[in-house]
Amino acid sequence: MYESIRHNPDIWAKFIGKDEELIMHSGVDSCFDFGRCQLSDVLSPDVSRSLIDSGFEVVLPEEKKFALCLTHDVDDIYPPLPHTLLSMFHSVKGANMSQLKKHALWRFNGKDYSPYLNFREIMDIEESYGAKSSFYFLTAEKDPRRFRYDIEDAGSYMGEIIDRECEVGLHGGYFSYANYDDLVKEKQKLENVLGSEVIGFRNHYLRFKMTDSWEVLSKAGFKYDSTLGFNNAVGFRNGLCHPFRPYDAGTGKSLDILEIPLIVMDSALFNCTSSFKDSWELIKGILDTGEKYNGIITLLWHNSSFSTPFRKDWRNLYIKILDYCNQKNAWITSGEDIYRWWDNTYINYS
């Protein structure tokens, strides 16, 4: 892979992120500043196109033209109070009394009635389109906004996720994105509750540090990461719509972890468009681009997006995406499935 694109300085710089402008958050975090980019710059997977032009051929299972990788960051399993109040307001506004009761009374009925323990509902939607997905759970106790949840409370729900052949991965803590000891503790805590190995990862708030995060994730035993994406935009951050082994400029070698780039996050999509129609047209273009290059388009839809009346468009758009990709005969699956297919098929491909 590397040799086929190194001869083009612009493509190489985009692939390794050389020209990214980094901004600092809280003195410790590095995030990509999309504000200096043009939207057109990230809606074209220039690196993937260059690879294909150089002879790289992507062959997907069952001769599918492209893949949709479905992922969910489980930031909350219990709605914070502002979410509850907003949901109640929108339920009253829409004269939906059953919905109002659901959001107003769950605290009195017990934790198991939380609207955000909705994994079965999400999997039911996906299963109707022959799809599977990944759910990334938090185990870290420290968070700048609030304590999120005890992972033990989600144990039985994770069991059903696994039983339905979906994936449970780790959603790394806000402060853990490049800390080996913290990541090992969080991984072990999740595996103790789950009762099996965890191979997939995405960090909270998409906090990430090239190349350090990849190195510690590999050392901690993760097989793939799917953090590399935008908080405030959508598109192909390093010009790829395909998984890749990150390049370590210091050693001149690839790292022993697969990156499955994040292309579209629900909040970022709706924040950079002004209507449901505009959101659909933007993501439809991205999906069509993925099909053109036999790519993998990774979506991040938070579990909370399926149960908040004030975000009903987010849920509806997710279903529209699944329907569109199903009609186009896409491979719609989890991060784990993408990893195992890529690792097995392109074992010598960096």
Q: Is the pTM of this model over 0.75?
A: yes
Work out the angle at residue 253's Cα, subtended by the Cα atoms of residues 250 and 259, and round it to the nearest 5 degrees: 100
The verdict on 305 and 330 lying in the same domain is yes
Q: Is 21 part of a structural domain of the chain?
A: no
The verdict on 223 and 240 lying in the same domain is yes
Q: Is 305 part of a structural domain of the chain?
A: yes
- Contact 28/219 with Cβ under 8 angstroms? no
C-alpha torsion 30→32→36→39, nearest 10? -170
- For residue 273, how far is the Cα from the chain centroid? 19
**For residues 246 and 254, what is the distance between their CA atoms, to the nearest angstrom?**
6
Q: Is 128 part of a structural domain of the chain?
A: yes
Closest CA to 222 of 335, 70, 58: 335
Q: Is 122 part of a structural domain of the chain?
A: yes
- Contact 236/243 with Cβ under 8 angstroms? no
**Element (DSSP H or E) covering residue 88:** helix 81-93
- What pLDDT is attached to residue 21? 44
Strand partners for 259: 225, 244
Closest CA to 167 of 73, 31, 102, 304: 73
User: What would you measure as the largest C-alpha separation in the chain, in angstroms?
Assistant: 64
The verdict on 218 and 87 lying in the same domain is no
**Beta strands per DSSP E along the chain:** 22-25, 29-32, 67-74, 134-137, 167-172, 200-203, 224-225, 247-248, 253-254, 258-259, 264-265, 296-300, 331-333
Handedness of CA 86, 88, 89, 91 (dihedral sign): positive
Burial 82-97 (b: 16+ CB within 10 A, else e): ebbebbbebbeeeeee
- What pLDDT is attached to residue 253? 87
- What pLDDT is attached to residue 113? 96
Over the stretch 315-338, which tens digit does the pLDDT of each residue have? 999 999 999 999 999 999 999 999
Q: Is 84 part of a structural domain of the chain?
A: yes
The verdict on 88 and 237 lying in the same domain is no
**For residues 145 and 80, what is the distance between their CA atoms, to the nearest angstrom?**
11
What is the tally of structural domains in the chain? 2
- What pLDDT is attached to residue 28? 36
- What pLDDT is attached to residue 332? 98
Q: Is the N-terminal amide bond of 227 cis, ω within 30° of 0?
A: no
Over the stretch 135-158, which tens digit does the pLDDT of each residue have? 999 999 999 988 999 999 999 999
Closest CA to 134 of 107, 96, 164: 164
- What pLDDT is attached to residue 248? 86
Q: Is 203 part of a structural domain of the chain?
A: yes
- What pLDDT is attached to residue 19? 61
Structure tokens at 42: 């990230």
The verdict on 217 and 87 lying in the same domain is no
- Domain limit, last residue, from 68, 91, 113: 113
- Contact 296/260 with Cβ under 8 angstroms? yes
- What pLDDT is attached to residue 13? 87
Structure tokens at 187: 């991984």
Q: Is 350 part of a structural domain of the chain?
A: no
- What pLDDT is attached to residue 346? 82
The verdict on 176 and 132 lying in the same domain is yes
Tokens 């339920």 belong to 91
- Domain of residue 37 covers 2-11+27-77+116-345
Interhelix angle 46-53/9-16, rounded to 10 degrees, is 130
Give the CB-side neighbour count of residue 224, counting CA atoms within 13 A. Answer: 25
The verdict on 95 and 233 lying in the same domain is no
Tokens 């992507």 belong to 58
The amino acid at residue 162 is I
Consecutive 10-residue averages of pLDDT for the chain (350 residues): 84 80 38 47 92 92 96 97 95 94 95 97 98 98 92 97 98 95 98 98 94 95 97 93 91 92 97 95 98 97 97 97 98 98 78
